[in-house]
Amino acid sequence: MAFHSTLSEAFVEKQKCENQWNVLCQFENNIFVFSLPVCPSIDIRNNMTLFSMLENCTVIEGHLQILLLFRTKAEDFRDLSFPMLTMVTEYVLLFRVYGMESLKKLFPNLTVIRGTHLFFNYALVIFEMVHLKEIGLYNLMNITRGAVRIEKNDELCFLSTIDWSRILDSVEDNYIVANKDDKKECGDVCPGIMQGKSNCPQTVVNGDFIERCWSHDHCQRVCPATCKSQGCTPTGKCCHTECLGNCIEPNNPQKCVACRNFFLDGKCVETCPPNYYRFKGWRCVTFDFCQELHNKCKMARESECYVIHNGECISDCPSGYTLNSTNLLCTPCAGLCPKICDLGEEKVIDSVTAAQGLRGCTIVNGSLIINIRGGTNIAAELEANLGLIEEISGYLKISRSYALVSLSFFRKLHLIRGQTLETGNYSFYALDNQNLRQLWDWSKHNLTIARGKLFFHYNPKLCLSEIHKLEEISGTKGRQEKNDIALKTNGDQASCENEVLKFSLIKTSSDKIVLKWEPYWPLDFRDLLGFMLFYKEAPFRNVTEFDGQDVCGSNSWTVVDIEPPPRPTDGRAPSHPGFLMRNLKAWTQYAIFVKTLVTHSDEQKIYGAKSEIIYIQTNASVPTVPQDPISVSNSSSQIILKWKPPSDPNGNITHYMVSWEQQSEDSELYELDYCLKGLKLPSRTWSPPLVDDGNKHNVSENEKMSGECCTCPKTDSQIQKELEESAFRKTFENYLHNEVFVQR
């Protein structure tokens, strides 16, 4: 990792080193030691010559991606090696590189992958490497954060011989499937086995006590348990506690290959001392270093320029802070940090992409025209991008936005100044929004319109009461002329309820809710077409009717149409309508409301009824089984058992019950000749206990005749798990393709 120069060369090299921001400089025992450059993220694709970017790199401060090399052959990699590389701070991705058979010569000293930034939750991804036969990273000792994904590598072996628990803190999230090793076609032979001796350490994983190796000529290094993740020397002595993965000399923080915490002047330290700042999660830098990065990015007009916050040099101030340009420090904002966006005269929001241009804006200088005709998950996307806008200097126009049900995505908007107005002196203009049903939840929202009038025409599902409420709250009442708010084309297709329905019966079980509510009949009972019951899961009691709704399929409410009960004709009390909700989740809170479905006439438009939103929780039930149990024997008298919580707890889980039973020893173990060389213990496979003939199942009549058994059908939980795994694989592959395929 470092080269030593003579004292006569030291001064020259020291000056040269200190003039480079991306080089680690240090002195050791009066001898100058300069480490090779720290490289930024490296992306090698399409062209073998790009491997030259790896020359002299000791640390990649970022990620390493090697991908999409389709014309390469095995001989192209035989003389290619980068022994200086010891650490990658983010992740390593290998994808569709032809001819690459192993990484052991390419990166013989790669020791640590820190995982400060992950690729879809993974720090090491090896995917569709068609010629890779072994991983071969025999010096890899630590993956600090993230998991491993090794998938669809048809020639890849030596996977079952790697004990990943010695490299990662947790192996539960590893995804290693669809490789040659899965097909039991690999003859993995660790070093020494062919000579009748075992050279590699042996560990237990899932009951298999075998040798651990990366290839036929390299064992996996396994340090004593007392060393933990700090690593050890080749002789098995523990490194200093500030080391990570490996070291040259035991108990010496200046001889670490990588640092557990931070690197400073050739030494691993727990924290950065005064006048130094943490950088990228692994080294200490000076104020001048951070300021130089800041100045470079300002000159390049990049959006993220390095600043100092809480003793760390980071790319940008966190939320709630703003930059003090005199000292590069992030200082707290008084309230929400303002972000002013100048639009010129106006900006049309006709897509999610257009809305993304205003992400984070709090003050908009100009006017906004919303014209959203369709799209997926529109309400959530608009809230994510426009939800912080507090003030619009011009006017707000909502026209022909057929995808909008509510304007609640403007959750922070409280002032429309009206400094520029739409034709006719309008500062709030709503025209031809066929599905707009609500402006805001006025119990939680306040809006002031400083100048200008309101215009509402052809909003058939927007009740006049909603518009009148806007007049009162915004201070525009009395400004409008007679024809500014149309009486016949606003709310003419809506059920603008003026009565409240009350629930009369509520009963719950673990998967059902029984509801009844008070009867409702309009003046002309023929106008009542029925009731609509709305319900959805609601972890918190803050749901409104129009949250997350648009007309393009994104409606989180489940809607049930219910026929009206028979109308009594003999003077008896009318029966209460109701509904039995089935197939609900146990121990889950639901938000529920019911409203009438009525016809309309020109003579009478505003009638109907609707209940308040109520919250009902279903009863608890039996939880599903714990997931992914893993057992390891760490001594002759102990077994460690780990598991994940049930996928559906169906209540508050207070404790687990663990049962075990001693099994009789296999007689085969007593008959073996343990003096034979290379003898392996037989693996015991679990076999289910015999069941009585009366309890046998899954045997068809034809199979009874032939005496053969059929394969047990998959249970619903197995089928569901396969579906979830398939969806997970598709999600990962979509993410991978979106990330690696870049438009030229």
Cβ neighbours for 95, distance < 8 A, ≥ 6 positions apart: 65, 66, 67, 68, 125, 127, 128, 129, 736, 740
480: pLDDT strictly greater than 80: yes
Strands 283-286 and 321-324: unpaired
Rg of the chain over all Cα atoms, to the nearest angstrom: 34
DSSP string, 530-551: EEEEEEEE-SSS---TTTT-BS
- Collect contacts of 642-648 with beta carbons under 8 A, ≥24 apart: 642/172, 644/172, 648/585, 648/586, 648/623, 648/624
The Cα 28–Cα 664 span in angstroms is 61
Work out the mean pLDDT of the chain and round it to a whole number: 85
- How much is the pLDDT for 241? 95
575: pLDDT strictly greater than 50: yes
Give the count of beta carbons closer than 10 Å to the beta carbon of residue 288. 9
Predicted confidence (pLDDT) per residue in 361-407, tens digit: 889 999 999 998 877 678 888 998 899 899 999 999 999 998 899 99
- How much is the pLDDT for 413? 96
DSSP string, 395-448: -EEEES-TTBSBSTT-TT--EE--SS-BTTTEEEEEE--TT--BS--TTT---E
Average pLDDT over residues 162-171: 93
- Which has more pLDDT, 544 or 289? 289
pLDDT band at 665 (very low <50, low <70, confident <90, very high): confident
- How much is the pLDDT for 353? 75
- How much is the pLDDT for 5? 33
Give the count of beta carbons closer than 10 Å to the beta carbon of residue 120. 17
625: pLDDT strictly greater than 80: yes
Q: Which residues lie across from 321 on neighbouring strands?
A: 332
pLDDT band at 548 (very low <50, low <70, confident <90, very high): low
Average pLDDT over residues 526-551: 84
Backbone angles phi, psi at 556, to 5 degrees: -75, -10
Cβ neighbours for 686, distance < 8 A, ≥ 6 positions apart: none
- How much is the pLDDT for 6? 32
558: pLDDT strictly greater than 60: yes
- How much is the pLDDT for 693? 43
Predicted confidence (pLDDT) per residue in 319-373, tens digit: 678 888 788 898 888 776 777 888 888 999 988 878 888 887 889 999 999 998 8
34: pLDDT strictly greater than 70: no
- How much is the pLDDT for 681? 53
- How much is the pLDDT for 381? 86
- How much is the pLDDT for 20? 42
- How much is the pLDDT for 611? 93
Share of the chain above pLDDT 90, in %: 55
Average pLDDT over residues 667-685: 62
489: pLDDT strictly greater than 60: yes
- How much is the pLDDT for 376? 64
The Cα 108–Cα 123 span in angstroms is 18
**Lowest-confidence segment of 197-201, 527-531, 568-572, 658-662 by average pLDDT:** 568-572
- Collect contacts of 200-204 with beta carbons under 8 A, ≥24 apart: 203/163, 203/165, 203/166, 204/632, 204/633, 204/634
Helix (H, G, I), strand (E, B) or coil at 580: strand
CB 340 within 8 A of CB 362: yes
- How much is the pLDDT for 147? 93
The Cα 154–Cα 127 span in angstroms is 10
Predicted confidence (pLDDT) per residue in 2-16, tens digit: 333 333 343 344 444
Burial class (CB in 10 A: 0-12, 13-18, 19+), 531: buried
**Lowest-confidence segment of 212-226, 474-488, 514-528, 693-707 by average pLDDT:** 693-707
CB 401 within 8 A of CB 372: yes
pLDDT band at 607 (very low <50, low <70, confident <90, very high): low
Backbone angles phi, psi at 638, to 5 degrees: -135, 145
Average pLDDT over residues 678-704: 49
- How much is the pLDDT for 409? 94
553: pLDDT strictly greater than 60: no
- How much is the pLDDT for 688? 47
Give the CA angle between residues 585, 591, 593 to the nearest 5°.
Answer: 125
Predicted confidence (pLDDT) per residue in 52-111, tens digit: 999 999 999 999 999 999 999 999 999 999 999 999 999 999 999 999 999 999 999 999
CB 370 within 8 A of CB 405: no
- How much is the pLDDT for 677? 55
35: pLDDT strictly greater than 80: no
Beta strand segments in 261-371, E: 262-264, 267-269, 276-279, 283-286, 307-309, 312-314, 321-324, 329-332, 340-349, 363-370
The Cα 262–Cα 244 span in angstroms is 10
448: pLDDT strictly greater than 80: yes
pLDDT band at 689 (very low <50, low <70, confident <90, very high): very low
- How much is the pLDDT for 502? 94
Q: Which residues lie across from 615 on neighbouring strands?
A: 591
- How much is the pLDDT for 604? 53
- Which has more pLDDT, 191 or 706? 191
**Termini Cα distance of the chain:** 36
Share of the chain above pLDDT 70, in %: 86
